Each structure stands twice: as structure tokens, then as C-alpha cells.
Amino acid sequence: MPPKKKPEVSEIEIEDKVIEIKKGALHKQLGIPEEKNIPMTLLNKLKKMELGEEFEQNGKKMKMTRGLKRRVVLAITLKKMKK
């Protein structure tokens, strides 16, 4: 079994705070290729979900976790900043 490669970590600065993020983690978790953008409608739908709630994405049942919720909120924040 080949060793797992570590995800690429990026640093971004928001309001004088430096945040480290794992590049592509949300794409990988949702099963969406990195070449495609994650639709804002999907992000908003996921943001409204409660922790532990189940949903289906790409024919796969998933559960809303704390980590997924944080990544979704960060993605929404970063998408709004680009405008």
C-alpha cells in the first residue's frame, strides 16, 4: 500500500488573521472534481443543515459533520470576498 500523500496546505489572510486551509478538501469530501466550481446553491443548502443530518450528494449518502460544516461556511465566505 503506497503512503498517503499529505494535502496541500494554503494560508489565507482574513481580517488580519492567517488561516491554514487544506486545498481541495471540500471538493474531495463532496465528491466534486476540483476543476468544477461548487454551486452556491449547494453550499447554502448545506449551511442550513444541522450537525448529524444526512443528505445525498452524487448518489452517495453523507452526514453533516462539524468539519464539513466549517469548510462549507469558509467556502461561502471566500466566494463572497471575491466579488
pLDDT at 17: 87
User: Is the residue at 30 inside a domain?
Assistant: yes
Q: Give the range of the structural domain holding residue 34, as residue numbers without chain letter.
A: 9-82
Write out pLDDT tens, residues 22-53. Answer: 889 999 999 999 999 999 999 999 999 999 99
Residue 1 has pLDDT above 70, yes or no: no
Number of folded domains that form the chain? 1
pLDDT at 83: 60
User: Is the residue at 1 inside a domain?
Assistant: no
**Mean pLDDT, all residues of the chain:** 88
User: Is the residue at 77 inside a domain?
Assistant: yes
The rounded Cα 34 to chain-centroid distance in angstroms is: 11
Phi/psi of residue 48, each to 5°? Answer: -75, -15
On whether the pTM is more than 0.75, the answer is yes
In sequence order, what DSSP letters do the residues of 57-71 get, joined into one string?
A: ETTEEEE--HHHHHH
